Amino acid sequence: MRQLRILWFNWRCIKHPLAGGAEVYTHEIARRLSHMGFDIILVSSRSHNLPEREYVDDYLVIRRGGKYTVYLEARRVYKELKKEGWIPDIVIDEVNTIPFMTPMFVKEPIVVLIHQLCKECWKYAIHPLFYPFGWSLEYLLHKYYVRKVREGKIKFIITVSEDTKNDLVKLGYPSDRIVIVPNGIDIEKYRECLEGSDESRENLVLYLGRITPYKRIEDLIKAWSIVEKSRKDCILIIAGRAYLRYLRKLEKLVRKFKLKNVKFLINISHSEKINLLKKAKILVYTSTREGYGQTIIEAAICGVIPLAYNVPGLREACRDVGGILLPENSPEVLAEYILKLLEAENQYKPCRRVITWDEVAERFLNILYEAVRS
């Protein structure tokens, strides 16, 4: 098996303050491939407190530019590496709303990784008046990529769910060039939860993930204003990496409703996350859409009931692990289901039939080899 040089572009690395499920996916695969001897360089944006160059689990992270300028820096880094004699065998263009436009400057085979389309999320990412412009821009950029797939410049599109694949096919991507490589899980990291019991559960409802507008956490807080009127013995914890302006908005909403049992935990460690999953009864997700829903499967394997809005990505994750999808995406219906689940005995069986990150990395690598050969 020939060891490949892999150049990977993503807007954030795993250490970025706003890193989410896409960055977990990238990191878990990159570190496994690097441990197998593959030479991997990840190019991402630079947060002010992170070094420009750093090895993370044996793969090199080069950080340049900010949220938007990283896309311009990607071309420069590519050229600099080649001048230094480091020539990739394959380039991965990871698309988080905006692609890196690699077909314009990359000579080697390209694989594109797309977790989800932004689509409705534009309403939350920019001012609502500019939402049509945002989606139009995303649409046009994808049309360019569709053409490059058909021309053979882009070898494969990797995505994480059937929902996203269907969205991509509607945009014109050839179905036979789209490969689903779903999110995985590291069982050993959740061993404590697997060995726990339902007796340790508390009346705790949990949100775990990035605290950012498209997650619609305000819907959860509105639902909690209904729950708290009926149940004074329950706690809602919202935990994760926060977009600070949005966090302030949520805190203001909590004060407006005069809620007593809502807590925010920012930038929690893995051990803190495990402790929450050992205690919680319900995990709630109210996103506009997701690529898949990494936290859904993490909660499920720990015996926490996933309760989610019926949207792309989340519906697939809930289907895979036996989670609950709401019949209507509204705070009122969400509150109704939270109350029902809190009052019922916890009969949810932890999901253990999930794909591991080792299996994900193997599938991913097979696609890279096929792209290099084609």
Provide Rg for the chain, Cα atoms.
21
Domains 5-184+356-373 and 187-343 fall in the same CATH topology: yes
Q: Count other Cβ atoms within 10 Å, centred on residue 301.
A: 21
In CATH, which superfamily holds the domain spanning 187-343?
Answer: Glycogen Phosphorylase B; (3.40.50.2000)
Task: Tell me the percentage of the chain whose pLDDT exceeds 70.
Answer: 91
Summarised one tens digit per residue, pLDDT across range 299-356 is 998 889 999 999 998 998 998 888 999 999 999 999 999 999 998 876 666 565 678 9
Domain range annotation of the chain: 5-184+356-373, 187-343
pLDDT at 260: 95
Summarised one tens digit per residue, pLDDT across range 271-293 is 999 999 999 999 999 998 888 88
User: Mean of the per-residue pLDDT values for the chain?
Assistant: 91
The CATH class for the domain spanning 5-184+356-373 reads: alpha beta
Spatial separation of the C-alpha atoms in residues 48 and 38, rounded to whole Å: 29
**Rounded to 5, what percent of the chain is helix, strand, coil?**
45, 20, 35
Q: Which of 52-56, 194-198, 209-213 has the lowest mean pLDDT?
A: 194-198
Q: Is 60 exceeded by the pLDDT of residue 33?
A: yes
Summarised one tens digit per residue, pLDDT across range 68-101 is 899 999 999 999 999 999 999 999 999 988 899 9
Rounded to two decimals, the pTM is: 0.86
Residue with tokens 């040089």: 5
Name residue 274's amino acid: I
What's the whole-number mean pLDDT along residues 174-189?
A: 93
**Phi, psi dihedrals of residue 237, rounded to the nearest 5°:** -120, 125
Helix axes 162-171, 314-321, angle to 10 degrees: 150
Q: Are 261 and 236 in contact (CB under 8 A)?
A: yes
Summarised one tens digit per residue, pLDDT across range 102-113 is 999 999 999 999
Residue with tokens 């569709």: 146
| C-alpha pair distances (Å), 334 with each of 39, 253, 308 | 47, 17, 8
What's the whole-number mean pLDDT along residues 13-36?
A: 94
Is the alpha carbon torsion for 323, 327, 331, 334 positive or negative? Answer: negative
Tallying the residues shown for the chain, one arrives at 374
Task: Give the SS3 label for residue 141.
Answer: helix
Q: Is 322 left (phi over 0), alpha (psi -120 to 50) or beta?
A: left
Summarised one tens digit per residue, pLDDT across range 216-225 is 999 999 999 9
